[in-house]
Each structure stands twice: as structure tokens, then as C-alpha cells.
Amino acid sequence: MVVENRWLLMAIAASVLGVCGCTPHIGDSCNISTDCSVRGDRVCDSSQPLGYCTVRNCGGNSCPENAACVLFNAAPAGCPYDDRAPGRTARSFCMASCTVDKDCRESYVCADPKSDPWRALILDDAQGKKVCIPASKQTSVSPASTAPPVCSATGPVVPPVDASPPWTPIDASSDADASADAPVDADASSPDAG
């Protein structure tokens, strides 16, 4: 009986170690979100090459160890970033931290996400982080100094609204106007009165 329990304990320990040893990390490849986490705390960004295990909508300093929270599309292309009102297109993701390209998978480079062509923001306190990010052949967007008109809050010149009435107000104290505007007694004028 002792031998059977020993084998059972060893089998349980091996399965626990197997599960813990294969836990996916931020930046690992994936096909579906359960490839990244069965608990639902990580998702698979299948829009990235060979998938990318990440955490969506992260906040500063909230990503797991060896990851950085990066805000992409913080402002429309060519517009300066305003930290008081991030753009509606902004999305934050946990990205795998790295120091050299060899730390990243194929199709990814180790780069500063703040640089061109990504122009993303690092939301963590440590602003010097590099992350494994898809290699991009995009051209850079126009610098903020030459912001297109879509970035400004100005619009066409509109004349002020004149809220005064377009007619001359009637003086209610005059007799002629008062008789015309006098209320009609509903009981006196109805055919059933009498």
C-alpha cells in the first residue's frame, strides 16, 4: 500500500511540475488565448506574427515580470500625444522585455517602442525599456511639429448666435391685445352648458 501511494504522489508531483514548467510567458507564440493562460488572465493577440501572448489594457507597472506595458496609437498619426486625453484609438498591451534581438522570437526585434515607426508610449516608470515588437517596414509618421489640421481643436469660423426674437414683442398691457389674448371660458362656450 505504501508503494502504491508513493507512485501516486510521484505522478501528481510530475504533472504539477510539467504544468508549471510549461507556463507561457508574455511574448510567446500562440493560436488561441488558452495557449497563453487557462485562467483567462492572458490573451493571444493573433494579429501578430505567429500570435503573441499578452495582457490587454494594462496600466503602468502592472505587467508580469519581464514585461512592459506599452500604449499603442496614443494619438492619431501625425498628432502630438496629450496625456490628459489619450486618443480613442489607444490600446495598451504587455510586451516582452528584452535587451538584444536574440531575446525575441523570429519576426520580432528588440526595440524601443517609442521610436519610429511604432511611436508608442511606455506606461511603466522605467522609460528606457526595450520590448520584443514585430519588425516593421512602415514609414514613420509626420512629426508633431507639422501636425495636420485634424489634430487641432479649431474649426471653421462661425458667427455668434443671436438668440433675440425676430419680431417685435407685443405689449400685454394694451386693451386691444389683451382682449385678443384673453382666455376663453370652456364651460361658457360648450354646447352642453346651460
pLDDT in tens, 24-51: 899 999 999 999 999 999 999 999 999 9
Residue 71 placed within a domain:
yes
Tell me what pLDDT residue 18 has: 46
What residues make up the domain containing 99?
Answer: 22-136
Residue 143 placed within a domain:
no
Q: What is the mean pLDDT of the chain?
A: 76
Residue 148 placed within a domain:
no
> CA distances (Å), 47 to each of 18, 30, 44, 50, 54, in order?
29, 11, 9, 8, 12
Total number of domains constituting the chain? 1
The dihedrals phi and psi of 121, each to the nearest 5 degrees, come to: -125, 140
Residue 192 placed within a domain:
no
By three-state DSSP, how is residue 70 classified?
A: strand
pTM: 0.60
Residue 90 placed within a domain:
yes
With bands split at pLDDT 50, 70 and 90, how would you rate the model's confidence at 6? low
177: pLDDT strictly greater than 60? no
With bands split at pLDDT 50, 70 and 90, how would you rate the model's confidence at 159? confident
52: pLDDT strictly greater than 90? yes
Tell me what pLDDT residue 10 has: 60
By three-state DSSP, how is residue 88 classified?
A: coil
Tell me what pLDDT residue 118 has: 86
**CA–CA separation, 106 and 90 (whole Å):** 26
Encoded amino acid at 129, one letter? K
Residue 29 placed within a domain:
yes
**CA–CA separation, 57 and 30 (whole Å):** 19
**CA–CA separation, 176 and 194 (whole Å):** 30
Q: List the grid coordinates of 181.
A: 389674448
Residue 175 placed within a domain:
no
Is the CA virtual torsion 21, 129, 112, 47 positive or negative?
A: positive
What angle (nearest 5°) sits at the alpha carbon of residue 40, between those of residues 35 and 44?
40
Residue predicted with more confidence, 138 or 144? 138
Encoded amino acid at 132, one letter? C
Which of 47, 51, 48 lies closest to 37, judged by CA? 51
Tell me what pLDDT residue 73 has: 84
Residue 49 placed within a domain:
yes
What would the mean pLDDT of 70-90 be, rounded to a whole number?
72
